[in-house]
C-alpha cells in the first residue's frame, strides 16, 4: 500500500487496557480518526464508563467493549476467539495493558504476574490474531513498551520468573525489554507480509499503573503525577504509529515522541529476541511459527 493511501478510517482496531489511562486515550485517538475500536478491559463498570466518554468525546459511536483478564492464558484464548468470531477484519492491534507489582505474585497459570501480563499476554494475543491481521494486510501492531527496559540489565533466561530475587522495577524493566525484543523478532518474521509491528515509550505518565499495590503506592503515584505526562500525551506516539501514512513499509522499530530511538544493547540482541520468541511460545502453549 502506498504511504499516502493508509488511513484508519473505517478500519477495525483492537486496543487492550483501553478502559483507563493510556489505552483509553489511544482508543480515543483512533476513534477521532474514524476507526472502529474494540476496547479490551477487565472491569465492566469501568469499561462502560470509558465507552460513554469515548463516544461522547470522539463523536464516533463505533466502539465496543470486550472483557478479559489478560493475566489468565485461558481468558486470552477466549478473548482471541471472541474477537475472531465478532470481527471478520482486524487491521490494527495495540497491546497496551500492563501492571507493576511491588511484591512477587503468581497468575492462575503459576507464572510471575508482571512478565505474564506485560509480555506473555502481548505475545499470546498477537499470535492468536496474527492470521487475521495477515489476511487484512496492510495491518499494524503497536506494542506499548517503556524506557524502563533500561532497568532490566538484560533478560536472565534461567530465571524469567524471578524466583531467586524479586526487585519490582527490575522485573518491570525486564517485561518492557521483552516487549522490544518481541517486536524486533516479530518484525523480522513479518517482513514482506504487509503487517508491520512497532513498539514505543509513552514517557512517565500519570495513570492507575501500580495503584493496586496499596494505600502507600496510591499516595506516591498521585503525589508525583503533577510532574508526569498526561495519558493523552503518553498515547500520542502509539496513535501515530497506528495511523501515520509515512510509516508504511517500516517495521520492528522503537519510538518515543514520534521519533525513532535506540533501546539498550540487550534489547537489540537478535539472538535473545529469537530465543524469547521460542520460550514464549512454549509458555503459552503455541507453536513458534
- Is residue 256 among the annotated active site residues? no
Given the residues 122, 123, 166, 172, select the one marked as catalytic. Answer: 172
Which of 76, 57, 74 minimizes the C-alpha distance to 16? 76
- Tell me the DSSP string of the chain: --GGG---TT-EEEEETTTSHHHHHHHHHHHHTT-EEEEEES-HHHHHHHHHHHHHHHS---EEEEE--TT-HHHHHHHHHHHHHH-S---EEEE------SS--B-TTSSBHHHIIIIIHHHHHHHHHHHHHHHT-SEEEEEE--GGGGGS-S--TT-TT--S---HHHHHHHHHHHHHHHHHHHHHHHTTTTEEEEEEE--SB-SSTTGGG-HHHHHHHHHHGGGSB-HHHHHHHHHHHHH-GGGTT--S-EEETTEE----GGGG-HHHHHHHHHHHHHHHT----
What's the grid cell of residue 251?
517495521
Contacts of residue 100, Cβ cutoff 8 Å, sequence gap at least 6: 114, 168, 169, 172, 209, 210, 213
Closest CA to 94 of 129, 143, 45: 143
CB 242 within 8 A of CB 142: yes
**Residue numbers annotated as active site:** 172
Amino acid at each position: 500500500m502506498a504511504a499516502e493511501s493508509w488511513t484508519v478510517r473505517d478500519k477495525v482496531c483492537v486496543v487492550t487496557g483501553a478502559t483507563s489511562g493510556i489505552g483509553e486515550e489511544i482508543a480515543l485517538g483512533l476513534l477521532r480518526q474514524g476507526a472502529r475500536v474494540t476496547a479490551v478491559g477487565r472491569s465492566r463498570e469501568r469499561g462502560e464508563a470509558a465507552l460513554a466518554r469515548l463516544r461522547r468525546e470522539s463523536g464516533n459511536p463505533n466502539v465496543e467493549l470486550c472483557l478479559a483478564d489478560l493475566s489468565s492464558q485461558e481468558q486470552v484464548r477466549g478473548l482471541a476467539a471472541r474477537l475472531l468470531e465478532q470481527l471478520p477484519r482486524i487491521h490494527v492491534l495495540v497491546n497496551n495493558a500492563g501492571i507493576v507489582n511491588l511484591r512477587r505474585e503468581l497468575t492462575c497459570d503459576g507464572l510471575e504476574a508482571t512478565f505474564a501480563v506485560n509480555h506473555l499476554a502481548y505475545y499470546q494475543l498477537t499470535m492468536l490474531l496474527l492470521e487475521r491481521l495477515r489476511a487484512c494486510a496492510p495491518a499494524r501492531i503497536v506494542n506499548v513498551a517503556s524506557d524502563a527496559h533500561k532497568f532490566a540489565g538484560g533478560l536472565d533466561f534461567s530465571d524469567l520468573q524471578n524466583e531467586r530475587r524479586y526487585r519490582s522495577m527490575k522485573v518491570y524493566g525486564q517485561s518492557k525489554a521483552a516487549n522490544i525484543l518481541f517486536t524486533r523478532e516479530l518484525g523480522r518474521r513479518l517482513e514482506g507480509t504487509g503487517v508491520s509491528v512497532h513498539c514505543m515509550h509513552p514517557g512517565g505518565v500519570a495513570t492507575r499503573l501500580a495503584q493496586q499495590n496499596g494505600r502507600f503506592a496510591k499516595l506516591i503515584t498521585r503525589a508525583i503525577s503533577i510532574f508526569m505526562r498526561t495519558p493523552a500525551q503518553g498515547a500520542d506516539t502509539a496513535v501515530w504509529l497506528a495511523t501515520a501514512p509515512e510509516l508504511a513499509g517500516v517495521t520492528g522499530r522503537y519510538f518515543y515522541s514520534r521519533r525513532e530511538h535506540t533501546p539498550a544493547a540487550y534489547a537489540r540482541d537478535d539472538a535473545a529476541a529469537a530465543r524469547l520468541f521460542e520460550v514464549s511460545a512454549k509458555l503459552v502453549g503455541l507453536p513458534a511459527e
